[in-house]
Structure 1
Amino acid sequence: MPNCNTTCPYCGVGCGVTAQLAGGQVSGVLGDGDHPANAGRLCVKGTALAETLGDEGRLLHPVLAGHRVSWQAAIAALGSKLQEARERHGPDAIAFYLSGQLLTEDYYVANKLMKGFLGSGNVDTNSRLCMSSAVAAHKRAFGEDVVPCTYADVEDCDLLVMVGSNAAWTHPVVYQRIEAAKQANPGKRIVVIDPRRTASCDLADLHLQLLPGTDAFLFAGLLRHLANNGALDRAFIDAHTSGLDAALDAAGNLDAAGVAQVTGLDAQEVATFYDWFTATERTVSMFSQGVKQSATGTDKCNAVINCHLATGRIGRPGMGPFSITGQPNAMGGREVGGLSNQLAAHMDYDPADVDRVARFWGATDMAAGPGLKAVDLFQAAADGHIKFLWIMATNPAVSLPDSALVRRALARCEFVVVSDCTAQTDTAAFADLLLPAAPWGEKDGTVTNSERVISRQRQLVPALGEARPDWLIVTQVARALGLGEHFDYRGPEAIFREHAALSAFENNGSRAFDIGALAQLDDAQYAALAPVRWPLPASGPAIEPFCDGRFFTADGRARIVAVQPQAPAPGEGMTINTGRFRDQWHTMTRTGRVPRLSQHRDFFSISLNPSDAAQLGLAEGDLVEVGNAQGVVRGLATLDPGIARGQSFVPIHWSGQFTAAGGASNLIPAITDPYSGQPQSKFAHASIAPCAVASWGLLFSREPLVMELAYWSRIAVSGGYLTLLADTAAPATVYAQLARELGADCERAGYEDSVGGDWREVGRRGDTLHYALFLNRSRDALPERGWMTGLGSETPAAGEWHQLLAGFSAERESAGKLVCSCWEVGETQIARAIEAGADSVETLGAALRCGTQCGSCIPELRQLLDQAREDCAA
């Protein structure tokens, strides 16, 4: 089989991927040079996609009440329980919770089944957590959820304002395009607005390190500044908008000094930003989760959009407000009505739209109104109102705020179905029925990225075990319910054609989302479909949104929304910021399996400003506890001067499969935006304190072990897992617990020093090392982590076991903390190259190849070069 073009399943950039196939397997991936999103570029997660395939940890068969069953039995049980809940308690007692990991065709049939034939709007998605405030803002401003920008605009603008976006880590390929554009246009300015100094600040001409949650004040002040300085486009405003006067009244008399006081910024920095925005017509404001994931996220998004509408900087190349999404198909889910307050094809629940969709579907029981949004949905389950819950391709026990409430909801719900490719997740532990769903590489369909480009995801290899695509599972359930004539799909091609036809049905230009030109694709054309951006009407020209000044409101005018900025509610303790790491994705069910993706940031940690850490008596690597009324997390202290005093940073990726008490959502209360229902996931307040530790340990094991300790965190390494552990008990007590899990059938060798608190033991099966455990009262006495990661490939002779017990290898030298994941280059190697004369990113790349593939490590390489120069100067 020749190489195959498909689409990456990670972030909303939607990069094209060329899969290299050999022997019926994916042997590697490259960037698709012809895809408009990435033109051959890939980030480190994308380049590692082939390493995420395989049967490790996979759910391969249906499991009902803990027992393997046939698909026939699983579908029958699901249909019976769904129908029973609906008949006994009404349609609103059932709910689906979907995911931006689904393909558009999966999304479409799930929404059609629930909203058209089960009579409930209770279909929501984890996209509610990442982009629903942008959706609400778009609808308030434009009349429809339309993203008016493309990645080319980000390149072509003269001023790029990155609001709540660490694109260097979260959307790396877009960031690479930004970097290349800045090199080509040295006059291009970049402003980063973020409470933390992140890797994205590497390119910034100005970093506005404002207080969390105060973005609306900054942009309301900008709107007032534009008005006061004659920078409004009065012709555009008069012809194409309404609401300016009310928006200016809401902004009040905020000036740079007033904004600085509220945001914690320097007034001169605010004035500089305002002057740059005022003077630069070709401006793009790229906003992401930092503003959306807020109790006032919709207002923040509208505050950004207002400044573009008031200056007419929209609908033209190199300018506009650009919401960049977090998931590969967040936009595709929006197109088919994946949010509970939407119908398919960008239609809403007004009577005309309900009637239109019902007629198109031939619906037998059409939902007449919106269903429950994500947080409310799980609250309803916790209260006993939701009796049947079907979760597809997501892990809400980790990703939703107030994890304790979500777990109560899952425990109380009478029947929980989880469709997933992974057998063990925090959510799957609550499932009454587990259904094996086909993941990336094993299914066919489409996704839509952040710039409205529809791309194909193609099946590369046969599905493992009995895994099936989600669209097929939903269709088979519909047939079991007697709805076969309405769900008579032979494949995703037929679903896509219906989706495209609905987008054009009675549209006549009233909705921007129109892909009617694709409604007649035959199966071969669908199979060969190249990336294409909507709108794509069946007749007439495909006009880019808003280039003609027409919006999708009743009067065709955009709304400049009156935003009254609100400061976040005060709280006790430190402000906890949450966010992503460069090499991980969501709850790590896929990326956590790849050893090289766990080396850049290995064990679960909590970042603090060095001054705060000193005040708390914390050093790098100490165990720290963060807690509030919601819950507690424990992690290793990491000192980061890029974090402002009084704040800390907790990454979102860690679940119960990778650490104890590490879920960031344990700290986040379920506070939501009143317009979008998006929860305030970016920040909370909590106390921080050191944890007393009597034992530290490092464990290499072939399988993950069950442990009940104050702290443990594991990563995948070659041949197994490496776990760092810490506890309040003495090493002897910790060893007694672990000994039960280490493998009774191993040949063991070890020694103990109970006085010195030093325990070491290795176990082997035949010639293979099965585990190696090192415990000590002091973490500094443990072996070097880099050496431990290589133990999975060790096959020591009988006389060499003493070297393992001593915790060293004469032939192995650590590369240091990993910086470049693509080529596995560490800090030690980089430091030596710098000592040998490498003085730039380019010369480091020539010597070590770091920074030459995905480019994600370039900001860190620059930091190491700068630090070396400072050390030399000192």
Structure 2
Amino acid sequence: MSRQITASTCCYCGVGCGVLIEHDGERILGVSGDPAHPANFGKLCSKGSTLHLTGDLNARALYPQLRLGKALARGRSDWDSALDHAANVFAATIAEHGPDSVAFYISGQLLTEDYYAFNKLARALVGTNNIDSNSRLCMSSAVVGYKRSLGADAPPCSYEDLELSDCVMIVGSNMAYAHPVLFRRLEEAKARRPQMKVIVIDPRRTDTCDLADLHLAILPGTDVALFHGILHLLLWEDWVDRDFIQAHTQGLPELKSLVRDYTPQMVSQLCGISVEQLQQCAEWVGTSPSFLSLWCMGLNQSTAGSAKNSALINLHLATGQIGRPGSGPFSLTGQPNAMGGRETGSLSNLLPGHRDAANAEHRAEVAAYWGVEQLPQNTGLSAIELFEQMASGKVKAVWIACTNPAQSMPDQTAVRAALQACPFVVLQEAFHTTETAAFADLLLPAASWGEKDGTVTNSERRISHVRKAIPAPGEARSDWAITVDFAQRLEKHLRPEHSSLFAFETEAQVFDEYKHLTSGRDLDLSGISHAVLDAIGPQQWPFPTGAREGTARLYLDRAFPTATGRAQFVAEPYRAAKEQRDARFPLTLITGRLRDQWHGMSRTGTAAQLFGHVSEAVLSLHPDELRRHRLQPGDLVSLKSRRGAVIVPVSSDDSVRPGQAFLPMHWGDRFLKGGVNTLTVPAFDPLSKQPELKHSAVRLEPAQLPWHLFALIEGDVQQNFETLRQLCETFSYVSFSLTGRERPALLIRAASASAPDPQLLREIDQCLGLNEGPVLAYDDPRRAIGKRVRIEHGSITAIRLAGETLARHWLQNLWQEGRADEQLRRWLLAPLSAPPGNANAPTAGNSIVCNCKNVSQSVIEAGIAQGLDLQGLKRSLGCGTQCGSCVPQIKRLLTAQAQPVAINP
């Protein structure tokens, strides 16, 4: 078939980039940025630009699978049998235990039409508010912050404000990694206007800090104290807009009384910054002509997340910096359609159209529109509460869609126990490889990116049409269609005498029914349809009936959707994070993002190219902490919290303060035995119910695991992955990753206190293809050391080192270079496994800095040694010329090379 181009949007973060999908009608062949899309103007990050590489069919759920008992394996089913069975179980459970005995847990990655179908199913048909989204883990504190302070969950800004602001404050966000396309836009704006001030507030010195004029490395969790300290100085110096405060706000006297105690000296001690830094920050905020704040998970994922959001918005209200270009509070959404979920009411406390489930008038409005007698009054369960009630037996059937709670929820030991205890778990998912899939009694294959049609809303309230390019593989179906099909079957049990609530045949029909629930509301999008978006392109709400274009900024008239029309100053004192360091757990664990991975890696974890920058879970510690614990980089440690432990290697990282540790949040049990969230705390904010995933108390203990294993295998990565995962379960430490671009391969690192049974190694070798054929082998049973290398057509295709793994870097380099020389044979027959000479030096220099152009650190360093500057490196090597995510790291390499070397006399 001829090549075709379909305009759609990226399925990763909330920037909402437009993409052009190249395909032949059956397969996706490539992807590029859409120059016409106003969110990105053709730019893509390293994740978005490799979307076409994440379509491994071996990882996809292709047909329904059902099991009739927890102890049994799932067997292949058909759609009719699977959905009839699900409807029978849900109906029987509701009949015996009531509608609140079932629940739905959905995702910020669903389309708006999917969200709406699920909401109508739960509330209008089942009669429960037990429907929550993984956005509870992401943006629910921002929802509370906007609603309490401004009256509605409505980010008031536009992306163009990044270019127009005189002072940009980035709080709790490594924007360079989490929202790189927006960060590039900010970077370019500052290059054009160097007088723009950029303030970064983050406990770590991240890549985002490279752009900062001021980095406030506050102690984790002290944001409220910092914001109150800034406001204290704004009031003291009279850097406030008294006219705006008088005419458009309320509540300042109470807040003023509170922040009086947050003196510079007190805040300096609480936050771990200098008084001078605090004063400089307050001056820039108070005296800049325009002030924009950007924030993400560092503020939201906290037991004080709502207070942090409101305390930040207080600064905008005090300075009048809202409702004008370059100004305002602007939350950066973590998922592609978390905003659409908030709009459709896909949190347990919300209803469609920015309504509240606790509001009787709101319930009556939605019930009347849906044509049902009433909506449920009982408070719905938020994510943490939902899994607690699954564990206690109160929730007996749960429907999970497009999310992976067995990786993403805190306190994984408890979450997995809850999934195991729940009598009936339905998982509607595109990938059968997720950690949650192991707990599913019914697995329903869902369509994924490029295979479905609908809408999403990005961080700036812009709605885009997501277009289908190719058919979904196997028997996978669109999420809204699965939901509607199930709902129609359940209706026969719950309301057989009534006409169907779910008479939908297309996505457009679902959207058109939903949009009228927003008419007259703050988010009015009654003038939007799929056809309108196709005709005039993505649009920002509100977009009421009759509108010709969307609304770029809110509150230009300084009228706020509160009872009084005034914005509200919120006075809440600083409260420390729930779990503090103590003698037993003396380190604070911070979690965050990697540049080239996304969330739980169900999609990015299928693309070997995306492991080039960081290939495994590594705990970052300040050099002083390494010395204190007598550790060397690469040593394995047992990292323990009050909830569990994981074993990880350590690295030296002076971007982390002493007393702190950093671990990327992406590594679940599939890639790291136990997974990062085995450690994290389930305590949550009392208003937003968002858990404190960012901040846990931990301790380190050296892992005494002298027996090591390293393996590499080319070929069918996903099939080998699943088999080898099961075989490696007995090892204390196991880490999986992918490597290679043209020749993807699976990498395994494992360690144990003693050598395993030889039969296990034979089974591993069988999976690796090392039991027969062109295999070089060496065994030393006395020392439990074994070496296996498979060579085909002069190249290494599989490796297994057992006992110790000194040669792993050298062998991996030989594999990458596609050669197997005489040195390999001499090494193999030697009694020790060390490689020739210094060939096994750590390969940090070979890590990929520029993923887009496949440029390694060593190549960039060689270019710098030849005298190339940043522009020269871009011209010569191409690094930094595509998504630009690697530019901060390249700048650090340039700085490091430029530093003079001390010469001993």
TM-score by length of 1: 0.94
1:219-262 C-alpha deviation (Å, 9 max, x unpaired): 01111211111122121111111101111122233222211011
Equivalences for residues 157-306 of structure 1 within 5 A? 157-306=165-314
Equivalent residue, structure 1, for 2:151: 143
Name the aligned partner's letter for residue 45 of structure 1: K
1:48 has 2:50 as partner: yes
Q: Do the aligned residues in 1 keep the contact of 2:770 with 2:790 (CA within 8 Å)?
A: no
Pairing partner for 1:468 from 477, 485, 492: 477
Where 1:604 maps in the other structure, the secondary structure is coil
Q: Do the aligned residues in 1 keep the contact of 2:14 with 2:333 (CA within 8 Å)?
A: yes
Equivalences for residues 635-646 of structure 1 within 5 A? 635-646=648-659
Equivalent residue, structure 2, for 1:8: 10
Equivalences for residues 405-420 of structure 1 within 5 A? 405-420=414-429
Equivalent residue, structure 2, for 1:426: 435
CA separation of 1:240/1:524 partners in 2, compared to 1, >3 Å: closer, same or farther? closer
Equivalent residue, structure 1, for 2:71: none
1:136-191 C-alpha deviation (Å, 9 max, x unpaired): 11111111101011111122101110000100000000100010000000101111
Equivalent residue, structure 2, for 1:773: 800
Q: CA deviation at 1:665?
A: 1.2
Equivalent residue, structure 2, for 1:620: 633
Equivalent residue, structure 1, for 2:690: 678
Name the aligned partner's letter for residue 102 of structure 1: L
Q: Using the alignment, how far apart are the partners of 1:513 and 1:248 within structure 2?
A: 32
Q: Using the alignment, how far apart are the partners of 1:790 and 1:596 within structure 2?
A: 13
1:338 has 2:307 as partner: no
Pairing partner for 2:516 from 493, 501, 505: 501
CA separation of 1:3/1:736 partners in 2, compared to 1, >3 Å: closer, same or farther? closer
Equivalent residue, structure 1, for 2:700: 688
CA separation of 1:700/1:341 partners in 2, compared to 1, >3 Å: closer, same or farther? same
1:398-425 C-alpha deviation (Å, 9 max, x unpaired): 1011111111111111100001011122
Equivalent residue, structure 1, for 2:711: 699
Q: CA deviation at 1:771?
A: 2.8
Q: Using the alignment, how far apart are the partners of 1:432 and 1:16 within structure 2?
A: 36
Name the aligned partner's letter for residue 686 of structure 1: V
Pairing partner for 1:516 from 496, 501, 526: 526
Q: Using the alignment, how far apart are the partners of 1:249 and 1:268 within structure 2?
A: 24
Q: Do the aligned residues in 1 keep the contact of 2:765 with 2:771 (CA within 8 Å)?
A: no
Q: Using the alignment, how far apart are the partners of 1:816 and 1:237 within structure 2?
A: 56
Pairing partner for 2:893 from 848, 864, 869: 864
Equivalent residue, structure 2, for 1:536: 543
Q: Do the aligned residues in 2 keep the contact of 1:220 with 1:563 (CA within 8 Å)?
A: no
1:784 has 2:810 as partner: yes
Where 2:58 maps in the other structure, the secondary structure is coil
Equivalences for residues 38-117 of structure 1 within 5 A? 38-65=40-67, 66-117=74-125
Structure 1, 37-46 or 558-567: larger mean CA deviation? 558-567
Q: CA deviation at 1:732?
A: 8.2
Q: CA deviation at 1:22?
A: 3.4
1:34 has 2:36 as partner: yes
Equivalent residue, structure 2, for 1:560: 569
CA separation of 1:524/1:290 partners in 2, compared to 1, >3 Å: closer, same or farther? closer
Structure 1, 720-729 or 261-270: larger mean CA deviation? 720-729
Name the aligned partner's letter for residue 46 of structure 2: V
Pairing partner for 2:160 from 152, 161, 176: 152
Name the aligned partner's letter for residue 21 of structure 1: H
Q: Do the aligned residues in 1 keep the contact of 2:618 with 2:663 (CA within 8 Å)?
A: yes
Q: Do the aligned residues in 1 keep the contact of 2:135 with 2:338 (CA within 8 Å)?
A: yes
Q: CA deviation at 1:436?
A: 0.2
Q: CA deviation at 1:872?
A: 5.0
Q: Using the alignment, how far apart are the partners of 1:765 and 1:497 within structure 2?
A: 58
CA separation of 1:514/1:576 partners in 2, compared to 1, >3 Å: closer, same or farther? same
Pairing partner for 1:597 from 610, 622, 629: 610
Structure 1, 828-837 or 211-220: larger mean CA deviation? 828-837
Q: Using the alignment, how far apart are the partners of 1:527 and 1:387 within structure 2?
A: 43
Equivalent residue, structure 2, for 1:351: 360
Q: Do the aligned residues in 1 keep the contact of 2:345 with 2:351 (CA within 8 Å)?
A: yes
Q: Using the alignment, how far apart are the partners of 2:738 and 2:826 within structure 1?
A: 23
Where 1:746 maps in the other structure, the secondary structure is coil
Name the aligned partner's letter for residue 360 of structure 2: P
Q: CA deviation at 1:34?
A: 1.2
1:728-778 C-alpha deviation (Å, 9 max, x unpaired): 22488684674465458633430123466642113479999663112343x
Pairing partner for 1:381 from 379, 387, 390: 390
Equivalences for residues 743-822 of structure 1 within 5 A? 743=769, 746-747=772-773, 748-754=775-781, 758-763=785-790, 771-777=798-804, 779-784=805-810, 786-787=812-813, 790=816, 802=825, 805=828, 816-822=846-852
Q: Do the aligned residues in 1 keep the contact of 2:765 with 2:800 (CA within 8 Å)?
A: no
Gaps of 5+ in 2: 68-73, 493-498
Q: Using the alignment, how far apart are the partners of 1:148 and 1:742 within structure 2?
A: 55
Q: Do the aligned residues in 2 keep the contact of 1:314 with 1:321 (CA within 8 Å)?
A: yes
Name the aligned partner's letter for residue 712 of structure 1: V
Q: Using the alignment, how far apart are the partners of 1:318 and 1:333 within structure 2?
A: 27
1:61-114 C-alpha deviation (Å, 9 max, x unpaired): 000010100000011011111111111100100100000110110011000110
Structure 1, 79-88 or 245-254: larger mean CA deviation? 245-254
Name the aligned partner's letter for residue 858 of structure 1: V
Q: Using the alignment, how far apart are the partners of 1:776 and 1:599 within structure 2?
A: 26
CA separation of 1:656/1:283 partners in 2, compared to 1, >3 Å: closer, same or farther? same
Q: CA deviation at 1:535?
A: 0.5
Where 2:186 maps in the other structure, the secondary structure is helix
Q: CA deviation at 1:20?
A: 1.7
Q: Do the aligned residues in 2 keep the contact of 1:746 with 1:770 (CA within 8 Å)?
A: no
Name the aligned partner's letter for residue 432 of structure 2: A
Where 2:646 maps in the other structure, the secondary structure is strand
CA separation of 1:560/1:161 partners in 2, compared to 1, >3 Å: closer, same or farther? same
Q: Using the alignment, how far apart are the partners of 1:665 and 1:397 within structure 2?
A: 9
Equivalent residue, structure 1, for 2:410: 401
Pairing partner for 1:728 from 747, 750, 753: 753
Q: CA deviation at 1:823?
A: 1.1
Percent of paired sites with the same residue = 39
Equivalent residue, structure 2, for 1:486: 501
Pairing partner for 1:855 from 873, 884, 894: 884
Equivalent residue, structure 2, for 1:22: 24
Q: Do the aligned residues in 1 keep the contact of 2:363 with 2:374 (CA within 8 Å)?
A: no
Q: CA deviation at 1:391?
A: 0.3
Where 1:644 maps in the other structure, the secondary structure is coil
1:608 has 2:621 as partner: yes
Gaps of 5+ in 1: none
Name the aligned partner's letter for residue 534 of structure 1: W
Name the aligned partner's letter for residue 772 of structure 1: I
Q: Using the alignment, how far apart are the partners of 1:688 and 1:320 within structure 2?
A: 42
Equivalent residue, structure 1, for 2:733: 711
Q: Do the aligned residues in 1 keep the contact of 2:16 with 2:459 (CA within 8 Å)?
A: yes
CA separation of 1:783/1:233 partners in 2, compared to 1, >3 Å: closer, same or farther? closer
Equivalent residue, structure 2, for 1:123: 131
Q: Do the aligned residues in 2 keep the contact of 1:453 with 1:533 (CA within 8 Å)?
A: yes
CA separation of 1:833/1:301 partners in 2, compared to 1, >3 Å: closer, same or farther? same
Q: Using the alignment, how far apart are the partners of 1:745 and 1:786 within structure 2?
A: 20
Q: Using the alignment, how far apart are the partners of 1:205 and 1:863 within structure 2?
A: 16
1:488-512 C-alpha deviation (Å, 9 max, x unpaired): 11111111111111111xx2xxx31
Q: Using the alignment, how far apart are the partners of 1:3 and 1:465 within structure 2?
A: 23
Q: CA deviation at 1:669?
A: 1.8
Q: Do the aligned residues in 1 keep the contact of 2:709 with 2:749 (CA within 8 Å)?
A: yes
Equivalent residue, structure 1, for 2:861: 831
CA separation of 1:209/1:524 partners in 2, compared to 1, >3 Å: closer, same or farther? closer
Q: CA deviation at 1:24?
A: 3.1
Q: Using the alignment, how far apart are the partners of 2:572 and 2:171 within structure 1?
A: 17
CA separation of 1:803/1:136 partners in 2, compared to 1, >3 Å: closer, same or farther? farther
Where 1:546 maps in the other structure, the secondary structure is coil
